[in-house]
Structure formats: structure tokens, C-alpha cells
Amino acid sequence: MHSSTKFLTGHGAALSGVIVDGGSFDWEGSPRAYPGLTAPVAPGKPSYAQAYGKRALEAYMRFGIVNDLGAALSPVNSFLLQQGIETLSLRMRQHLANADAIARWLAEHPVVESVDYAGLPSSPYHRIAQERFGGHAGSVFAFTVRGGRAGAERFFDALQLISRMTNIGDVRSMALHPATTTHVSFSAAERERLGITDGLIRLSVGIETVDDLIADLDRALQAAAR
């Protein structure tokens, strides 16, 4: 299951999702029960797994979930998704180039404690990025500002170009403070165990001019240092 609201659509203008199935899962032989696919659809009728074989999940989603619950894209959202896919390769090149340049710049900044980006040689996941993804490490990563929560708050208040939003994979660059947003319901001990410190900032790097993004980050980091 993939949120195509992110990079595939790319412009923060539509909500959509994609389910991809290779048709190789043994629904009937699994130790976990999947009654929606293995139970008869009606008395005397075969199950989706029996009737459709490798296409059982597709049939279940189309004739069951979509038919009963209406989980289908609207025409406008479908159009926006298709339109976004047409420029995906162009946008991703810019996303990746910007993210790499910004991560390397952040790693050298005195106000930054650490950068969690697989494209950096210092990352424990650097080898995986090199071997499996051609050296690319995506455009969503995190870094830690010195000064804890107070430093993070000053950083956010000083941002001008980078938006303070929860979305990712948008053409616009966005920043988020996980400790007070996505993980605010976690206990302090649990956040610490997960590495979600008070100074952690999540960045989703967009396709703007990289020099402008770095200038915005530099201004915000100078504010954090104060």
C-alpha cells in the first residue's frame, strides 16, 4: 500500500493511494486468516481465492471493498495523480539533488548535532543506499539541532521559505518537529528510545532552488543558536 498523495501526485493537491499486488501470496495456506478472500462470498459460491487465483486480491478490492464502501478516486483526483506521474522523473532528480546538497551542508554546520541521511558516508545505512538505490537516499530525512526544544522552536519560527507542515513528498520543502506533532502521544522515554529527541527536525526537501533553501536553513539555524 502506497500513499500516492506524496511523490506520485507531488503537488499536495490530491489525496490518493495505490495497492500493488504481485499475485504470489498464498491466501489459503497462510497461518493468518483472510476470510474476506478465502471464505465463500455467498452460500454455494466460491471464495475470491478459488474464483480468481492470482488475481484474488484485485477482485476482492474491486468487487468487495470498492463496491461496498466506495473507496475509489474521484475523477479530479485521478486526473491530478495521472498529471503528477507525467513529471515524476523530472521532479525526483531535483528532489534527490537538493536533498543530497542540503544534507552534506547540514553535516558541516556547527549548530547541527547530527544528520540522519543514508547518502552520507557516516550513515550506518550508506552501503545499502549505494548497493540498492544507486547511491540515492531519498529526499526525506532528519537532523538534530543543538539546543533541544528551545533551539528547535527558534529554528521553526525563523523559517521563511520552507513550510511548517506534516506532509512529505511535495514539490515544496517542508519541515516538521516530530516530538510535538507526529509523536507527541509517545512518552518521553519511548521517544528517546526511538531517537526522537526534542531537537530532531524532519525535512522533506522540495524542488526549489537549492541555494534559496540553504539560505533559509542557515537563517533559521542562526536563530536556533541564539
Q: What is the secondary structure of 94-121 as a DSSP string?
A: HHHHHHHHHHHHHHT-TTEEEEE-TTST
- pLDDT, position 72: 84
Q: In which band, very low, low, confident or very high, does the pLDDT at 224 lie, cut at 50, 70 and 90?
A: very high
> Given a cut of 90, is residue 66 above it in pLDDT?
no
pTM of the model as a whole = 0.86
Q: Which three cell numbers stand for residue 153?
A: 522552536
5 sits in which H/E element = none
46 burial via Cβ count (<10 Å: 0-12, 13-18, 19+): exposed
> Given a cut of 90, is residue 80 above it in pLDDT?
yes
Q: What is the secondary structure of 10-68 as a DSSP string?
A: -SS-----B----S---TTT-SS--HHHHS-SSTT---HHHHHGGGHHHHIIIIIIIHH
Q: For the residues 103-112, what does the mean pLDDT come to?
A: 97
In tens, the pLDDT along 157-167 reads: 999 999 999 89
Least confident of 88-102, 183-197, 211-225: 183-197
Q: For the residues 138-159, what does the mean pLDDT come to?
A: 96
Closest CA relative to residue 138, chosen from 152, 128, 150: 128
> Given a cut of 90, is residue 226 above it in pLDDT?
no
Q: Average pLDDT, whole number, for the chain?
A: 94
- pLDDT, position 57: 95
Task: Report which of residues 67 and 171 the model is more confident about.
Answer: 171
Q: In sequence order, what are the beta bridge partners of 202?
A: 142, 176
d(CA 4, CA 6): 5
- pLDDT, position 211: 98
Q: For the residues 124-140, what does the mean pLDDT come to?
A: 94
Query: Helix, strand or coil for residue 203?
Result: strand
What distances in angstroms separate CA 26 from CA 23, 46, 61, one per listed residue?
A: 9, 16, 17
- pLDDT, position 69: 85
Q: What is the secondary structure of 123-189 as a DSSP string?
A: STTHHHHHHHSTT---SEEEEEETTHHHHHHHHHHH-SSSEE-S--S-SS-EEE-GGGTTTTTS-HH
- pLDDT, position 71: 81
d(CA 107, CA 217): 12
In tens, the pLDDT along 177-207 reads: 999 999 999 999 999 999 999 999 999 999 9
- Apex CA 27: angle with CA 52 and CA 56, to 5°? 20
All structural domains of the chain, each given as residue ranges with its CATH number in brackets, are 88-225 (3.90.1150.10)
> Given a cut of 90, is residue 67 above it in pLDDT?
no
Q: For the residues 10-35, what does the mean pLDDT come to?
A: 93
